[in-house]
Amino acid sequence: MLWSLVLAASAVASPKPVPPASVTVAVDSSKHELTITAGPYDLPNMPPMDEHAMMDLGMSHDTPVQHFVWPIDGWFRGFRVALSDAQGHEVPRHVMHHLIMVNFSRRQLLYNAAERLMGAGTETDDEVSVPKTIGVPMSPGMKLGMYVAWHNDTGKDLNGVYLKVTMLWTPSNQNPQPVNSMPIYMDVNLTVGASNTFDVPPGTSSKAYEFTLPVGGRLLGVGGHMHDYGVDVKLEDAETGKVLATVKTTRDAEGKVTKVSRKLFGVSGDGLKLKADHRYRVVGEYDNPTDETKIKGAMAHMVGLFVPDDMGKWPKIDPTNPTYQRDLASLQVRGERGAEGHAGHDAMKMDHGQMHAEPAAETTHDH
């Protein structure tokens, strides 16, 4: 039986180019699915364009963050995305350039910023999920928000488009209970609330960020994200110099990135052990074959699923922290100006992909 219930309907209207759209949440407690429907959106046709040039020019149609409340006690374990037009016909998925789900009720592990629960991009499979033995712990009342960047290059305007995001969950009475697995995001150059892009000089270059974790745990797997001329992203033990994990790009003859590999340490196995208060480093390497510096042309980050040894030591949100406030402020202005990068948007996308059935699967570069 479908037990459907409208839990939230909030129009986060902005007087800007994005048409006002509403979001509703329906729960199907027999299927253990929650469906978020957002829309309608009018998406004018836009010329095909390099994705990052498009971002730089603010040509993607960013929606404001649309807020809703998560109603379930359980574990989030995957999602499906579908688009339809006013007549109910299917709309090509790739016009949704990316979708980011923010959890305002929990902090990221490394950064004083709201959790990015999941992301989906043009290349994401129709359904992505992790095994029922693991999941992201969720509780009723958690404040979530979702935003989308549109890029309609279908050659015609699309009107009255609705977005349906179906989130899969595992109920709290499952026995044995899933292992708490948290999204982790490690960027070589993130300023929270601002940008994570950097310049790429001619030849080889690298950028690194060192960090410690407030709680130890196990990394189940990682994916990564780089821009053109990117070579690889490595996670290193900064105290010994040992390389712990590497994700590599696939590049075409011009150095354009077409794929980033994933590394799976094992969903049921031990994973990669990371210690609390130990220095680690995430490093991004680039190789620019041209003789020109690509200004703000690069990004490099690693994302994954992390099982903390003690969930009680997960860092708490400090609403008075200036960095945290900058993150919130940057989310509030979304949809009101050109895109300000997309740090963290693909955290869960990679996670899901790598936990998905095909261990050899690779992710296509996208935003």
Give the torsion sign (CA, 89, 91, 92, 93).
negative
> Which contacts qualify for 11-14: CB closer than 8 Å, 24 or more apart?
12/64, 12/65, 12/66, 12/67, 13/64, 14/64, 14/335, 14/336
Closest to Cu ion by CB, 121 vs 271, is 121
Provide the 8-state DSSP code for 178: P
Interacting positions 176-235 with Cu ion (CB under 5 A): none
Among the residue ranges 159-167, 183-191, 298-306, 331-339, the one whose residues contact Cu ion (CB under 5 A): 298-306
Give the torsion sign (CA, 303, 308, 311, 312).
negative
Interacting positions 18-57 with Cu ion (CB under 5 A): none
Nearest distance, CB of residue 106 and Cu ion, angstroms: 24
Closest to Cu ion by CB, 23 vs 184, is 184
Nearest distance, CB of residue 138 and Cu ion, angstroms: 27
Nearest distance, CB of residue 52 and Cu ion, angstroms: 7
Closest to Cu ion by CB, 184 vs 299, is 299
User: Rg of the chain over CA atoms, in angstroms?
Assistant: 20
Residue 122 and residue 150 in contact, taking contact as beta carbons nearer than 8 Å:
no
Residue 76 and residue 177 in contact, taking contact as beta carbons nearer than 8 Å:
no
Closest to Cu ion by CB, 134 vs 339, is 339
Among the residue ranges 79-87, 95-103, 150-158, 295-303, the one whose residues contact Cu ion (CB under 5 A): 295-303
**Which tokens belong to 282?**
């995430």
**Which tokens belong to 291?**
């003789």
Among the residue ranges 117-125, 149-157, 175-183, 296-304, the one whose residues contact Cu ion (CB under 5 A): 296-304
Strand 203-211 relative to strand 263-264, pairing: unpaired
From residue 299 to residue 338, what is the string marking binding to Cu ion with x (rule CB under 5 A)?
Answer: x---------------------------------------
CA-based diameter of the chain, in Å?
Answer: 63
Nearest distance, CB of residue 96 and Cu ion, angstroms: 16
**DSSP per position, 23-36:** EEEEEETTTTEEEE
Among the residue ranges 112-120, 233-241, 270-278, 293-301, the one whose residues contact Cu ion (CB under 5 A): 293-301
Closest to Cu ion by CB, 80 vs 234, is 234
Provide the 8-state DSSP code for 258: E
Nearest distance, CB of residue 367 and Cu ion, angstroms: 6
Phi-psi category of residue 344: left, alpha or beta, with phi > 0 → left and psi -120 to 50 → alpha: left
Length of the chain: 367
Among the residue ranges 59-67, 119-127, 291-299, 329-337, the one whose residues contact Cu ion (CB under 5 A): 291-299
Residue 350 and residue 225 in contact, taking contact as beta carbons nearer than 8 Å:
yes
Residue 122 and residue 366 in contact, taking contact as beta carbons nearer than 8 Å:
yes
Closest to Cu ion by CB, 39 vs 284, is 284
* Residue number, nearest CB to Cu ion: 299
**Contact between 161 and Cu ion per CB under 5 A:** no
Nearest distance, CB of residue 345 and Cu ion, angstroms: 8
Nearest distance, CB of residue 100 and Cu ion, angstroms: 12
Among the residue ranges 57-65, 231-239, 285-293, 294-302, the one whose residues contact Cu ion (CB under 5 A): 294-302
Nearest distance, CB of residue 133 and Cu ion, angstroms: 31
How many residues of this chain interact with Cu ion, rule: CB under 5 A?
1
Nearest distance, CB of residue 93 and Cu ion, angstroms: 19
Using CB under 5 A, list all residues that contact Cu ion: 299
